[in-house]
């Protein structure tokens, strides 16, 4: 199988999309590096899996911890073939009620955290002239919505830096894929104070399948952007 022995780092591995993808990849023979803040949740997930698994509790908002994550991965497996950035959080409020702490939280985790992991993994991939970075952006990194000013600011930022880095890396054989998923029925919505019909959202399996497809594509294929939304709520 194409993913056999590939070293795949999954950031946000204990979340809805991350854990679903992790379970899918476990049967491929890939060597998995699972990343999240909660070490106990990581250990519980790792216990479900077969094959080689490394768990690295990491706060990706801290660049020093991200550097340590990459160093541990290289020490254990010698390389990084794939980075999946599936971590994130949402604060959805009217623009005039967003406080500085809300904006800081969105920018620190969704934007800076994703930047740090992308930057650190890309440096290793560039050395080997091979690699694939998958950044899960969400549809609000492409389209606007009321109540999402701080969240969209962070996600539009991810799109901006990802496209810039992709331009710098393309001559080194490193691919970047952006995923614009519509509403995903995951724990993301547990702390969001909005009325939403989660039964009409996309499943975590749909999102994980799309990432799995991108990772399994033939080497010369570059899936640059994948946009999947629920039928009930389409943006064009």
| Helix (H) or strand (E) segment spanning residue 82 | strand 82-85
Please count the CA atoms within 13 angstroms of the CA of 137 that sit on its side-chain side.
Answer: 29
State residue 34 phi and psi, 5-degree precision: -100, 130
Quickly list H helices, 170-221.
Answer: 204-216
State residue 214 phi and psi, 5-degree precision: -60, -40
| Helix (H) or strand (E) segment spanning residue 59 | none
Catalytic residue among 95, 116, 151, 180: 151
Is residue 151 among the annotated active site residues?
yes
Catalytic residues: 151
């Amino acid at each position: 199988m194409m993913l056999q022995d590939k070293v795949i780092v999954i950031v946000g591995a204990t979340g809805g999309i991350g854990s679903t993808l992790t379970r899918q990849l476990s049967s491929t023979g890939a060597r998995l590096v699972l990343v999240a803040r909660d070490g106990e949740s990581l250990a519980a997930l790792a216990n479900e899996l077969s094959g080689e698994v490394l768990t690295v509790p990491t706060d990706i908002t801290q660049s020093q911890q991200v550097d340590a994550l990459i160093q541990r991965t290289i020490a254990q497996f010698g390389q990084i073939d794939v980075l999946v950035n599936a971590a994130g959080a949402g604060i959805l409020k009217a623009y005039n009620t967003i406080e500085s702490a809300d904006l800081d939280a969105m920018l620190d985790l969704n934007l800076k955290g994703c930047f740090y992991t992308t930057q650190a993994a890309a440096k290793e991939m560039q050395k080997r002239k091979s690699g694939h970075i998958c950044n899960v952006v969400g549809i609000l990194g492409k389209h606007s919505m009321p109540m999402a000013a701080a969240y969209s600011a962070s996600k539009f930022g991810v799109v901006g830096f990802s496209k810039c880095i992709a331009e710098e890396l393309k001559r080194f054989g490193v691919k970047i894929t952006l995923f614009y998923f519509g509403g995903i029925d995951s724990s993301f919505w547990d702390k969001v104070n909005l009325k939403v019909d989660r039964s009409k959202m996309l499943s975590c399996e749909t999102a994980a399948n799309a990432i799995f497809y991108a990772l399994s594509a033939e080497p010369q294929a570059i899936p640059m952007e994948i946009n999947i939304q629920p039928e009930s709520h389409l943006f064009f």
